[in-house]
């Protein structure tokens, strides 16, 4: 290409695109110079993440609070800072074991050769994070990628710009940009980011954007982990402790005002217990958040657009005659974008609220005649990211576990499977593909390279041409032992 054409193409690029290209080239080069960072170096990188979480906790709390309008300080500490720190601690504890080559059995007729799976860093990992937990969903996968010996580029959401800046500063204070860098910017920057030929790309966000990101990555044959969303059901069994279940559902739904990928989206309750369950969820929610307009415990909706979307979902079912229980009044709350927990009893199945992921503090509660009915309802929709089952009848529980497919499950509670570092976290079907957390994250960001170590005493030569009667003899022996 002539130099002036190349210069004019470069001039067409946005500042974000140029920054992505510059850092990607820098990280690729650094990877080439040290493609297999030592255990000590990886531990040092994990320690930097731990330190930046400690040093920046207040800044993260303040930044996310400003981005949301109001984000509970304790939700930020629990779900962003502590969850990430505990993942890093677990990675440090297990890293030596994860890095070790894993011996696997070699067929008898190939002995005494050896077969091993040897984890190897992939190179440069891209991470696209959403706004709902802007620090955790960027830094937890980054820590997994660093444990696996990679370099990392992070693109935070434009909807949480202060959190993005705080992360950029915190990362820059600890890491050279050839190791970890944060690229802030809008959707165009996100698009350019997803077109970058990373060695692996982890995207956390909506199914709609995830589809586009997967298509952009496919052009480079970049493998992707897609951490998406969807409608995560709660199945209340008639054997459940209803009061405990109601408290747990109220908590799981109201946490971060329902803006959680694995928030319970809707409840399937036995018909004859539905009314009592609604009353119990409302009462428990009132106890958790007595005055949502006055307490900073109750998080706001991220933007006016998201707030209006949720309000209009409620208006649609109100107009269509559904019974609605609002836990607290929303009249005065518009300026604060606080939406009270809103229970919708038996809404029409074709309403927006039953078709889209809600992602806010609205909880449809639907009657079901039997566990089979509940299973059929779940299976009629896309495979969910999470499923929650409450009850004491183990046979029914096992039926539900065996006959539904979801990314993950918590039995007799909500949300908490996410925090189990040794359980892989990810979706299935429309709720995502691939997984991370714990060893699953290390494996996702490694090339698990199969290596066969031939023995000096290999008998392989006996099967080489020229073939003849000796070949028949060897084959008949091999046939006996395989
Ligand atoms: P989103 O899909 O709108 O955005 C996610 C990220 O993609 C943001 O950083 C955004 O800037 C970027 N982006 C937007 N358009 C892009 C494009 N064309 N190309 C490349 N990048 C682009 O999602 P959101 O609104 O930020 O987050 C909410 C969604 O995320 C919900 O569906 C929720 O369930 C899901 N989520 C999933 C998980 C999980 O772990 N599975 C966790 C949190 C949120």
The fold adopted by the segment(s) 7-228+435-447 is Aldehyde Dehydrogenase; Chain A, domain 1 (3.40.605)
> Ligand 1 centroid to 231 CA: how many Å?
15
Q: What angle do CA 144, 148, 149 make, to 5 degrees?
A: 120
Question: If we measure between CA atoms, which residue out of 104, 147, 128, 125 comes closest to residue 24?
Answer: 125
Supply the pLDDT for residue 391: 98
* pLDDT above 70 (res 10): no
416-433, pLDDT tens digit by residue?
999 999 999 999 999 999
Q: Where are the domains of the chain?
A: 7-228+435-447, 233-422
248-298, pLDDT tens digit by residue?
999 999 999 999 999 999 999 999 999 999 999 999 999 999 888 888 999
- Please give the Cα distance from 313 to 231 (Å, whole number): 15
* pLDDT above 80 (res 312): yes
CATH number for the segment(s) 233-422: 3.40.309.10
Q: How many residues does the chain have?
A: 482
- Please give the Cα distance from 475 to 261 (Å, whole number): 56
Say whether 19 is catalytic.
no
Residues 364 and 324 sit within 8 Å (Cβ to Cβ): no
The mean pLDDT value for 33-50 works out to 98
Supply the pLDDT for residue 139: 98
| Pocket test residue of 209, 211, 220, 231 for ligand 1, highest count of atoms within 8 A of CB | 209
> Ligand 1 centroid to 300 CA: how many Å?
18
Helix (H) or strand (E) holding 3: helix 3-12
- Closest residue to atom 41 of ligand 1, CA basis: 227
pLDDT tier, 35 (very low <50, low <70, confident <90, very high otherwise): very high
Give how far the C-alpha of residue 76 lies from the chain's centroid of Cα atoms, to the nearest Å: 17
Helix (H, G, I), strand (E, B) or coil at 278: helix
Overall pTM > 0.85: yes
What tokens appear for 1 in the block?
């290409």
| Pocket test residue of 133, 140, 159, 205 for ligand 1, highest count of atoms within 8 A of CB | 205
pLDDT tier, 330 (very low <50, low <70, confident <90, very high otherwise): low
Supply the pLDDT for residue 8: 54
For the chain, percent of residues with pLDDT exceeding 90: 88
Atom of ligand 1 nearest to the CA of 357: 32
* pLDDT above 80 (res 58): yes
What tokens appear for 25 in the block?
């080239």
Supply the pLDDT for residue 290: 87
> Ligand 1 centroid to 254 CA: how many Å?
20
* pLDDT above 70 (res 215): yes
Mean pLDDT over the full length of the chain: 95
* pLDDT above 70 (res 247): yes
Most confident of 106-115, 143-152, 457-466: 143-152
* Cβ of residue 166 lying under 6 Å from some atom of ligand 1: no
The mean pLDDT value for 104-108 works out to 94
pLDDT tier, 9 (very low <50, low <70, confident <90, very high otherwise): low
């Amino acid at each position: 290409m002539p130099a002036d054409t190349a210069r004019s193409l470069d001039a067409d690029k946005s500042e974000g695109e140029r920054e992505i290209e510059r850092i990607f080239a820098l990280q690729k080069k650094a990877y080439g110079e040290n493609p297999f960072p030592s255990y000590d170096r990886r531990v040092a990188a994990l320690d930097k993440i731990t330190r930046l979480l400690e040093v920046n906790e207040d800044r993260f709390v303040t930044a996310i609070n400003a981005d949301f309008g109001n984000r509970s300080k304790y939700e930020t500490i629990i779900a962003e800072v502590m969850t990430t720190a505990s993942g890093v601690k677990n990675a440090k504890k297990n890293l030596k074991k994860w890095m070790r080559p894993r011996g696997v059995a070699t067929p008898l007729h190939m002995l005494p050769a050896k077969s091993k799976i040897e984890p190897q860093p992939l190179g440069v990992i891209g991470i696209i994070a959403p706004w709902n937990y802007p620090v955790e969903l960027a830094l937890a996968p980054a820590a997994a990628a660093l444990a696996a010996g990679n370099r990392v580029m992070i693109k935070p959401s434009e909807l949480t710009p202060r959190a993005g800046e705080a992360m950029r500063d915190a990362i820059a204070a600890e890491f050279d940009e050839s190791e970890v860098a944060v690229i802030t910017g809008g959707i165009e920057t996100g698009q350019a980011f997803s077109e970058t030929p990373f060695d692996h790309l982890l995207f956390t966000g909506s199914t709609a954007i995830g589809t586009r990101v997967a298509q952009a990555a496919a052009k480079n044959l970049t493998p992707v982990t897609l951490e998406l969303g969807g409608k995560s059901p709660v199945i209340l069994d008639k054997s459940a402790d209803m009061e405990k279940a109601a408290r747990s559902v109220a908590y799981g739904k109201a946490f971060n005002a329902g803006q959680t990928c694995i928030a319970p989206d809707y409840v399937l309750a036995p018909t004859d217990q539905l009314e009592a369950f609604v009353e119990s969820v409302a009462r428990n929610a009132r106890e958790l958040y007595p005055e949502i307009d006055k307490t900073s415990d109750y998080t706001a909706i991220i933007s006016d657009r998201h707030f209006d979307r949720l309000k209009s979902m409620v208006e649609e079912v109100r107009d269509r005659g559904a019974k609605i229980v609002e836990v607290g009044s929303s009249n005065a709350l518009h300026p604060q974008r606080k939406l009270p927990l809103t229970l919708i009893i038996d809404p029409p199945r074709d309403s927006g609220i039953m078709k889209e992921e809600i992602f806010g503090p609205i909880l449809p509660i639907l009657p079901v005649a039997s566990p089979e009915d509940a299973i059929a309802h779940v299976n009629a929709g896309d495979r969910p990211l999470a499923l929650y089952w409450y009850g004491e009848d183990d046979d029914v529980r096992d039926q539900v576990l065996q006959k539904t497919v979801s990314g993950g499950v918590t039995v007799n509670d909500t949300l908490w499977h996410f925090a189990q570092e040794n359980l892989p976290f990810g979706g299935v079907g429309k709720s995502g593909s691939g997984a991370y957390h714990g060893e699953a994250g290390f494996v996702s960001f490694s090339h698990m390279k199969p290596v066969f170590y031939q023995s000096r005493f290999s008998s392989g030569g006996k099967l080489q041409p020229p073939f003849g009667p000796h070949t028949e003899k060897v084959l008949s022996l091999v046939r006996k032992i395989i």
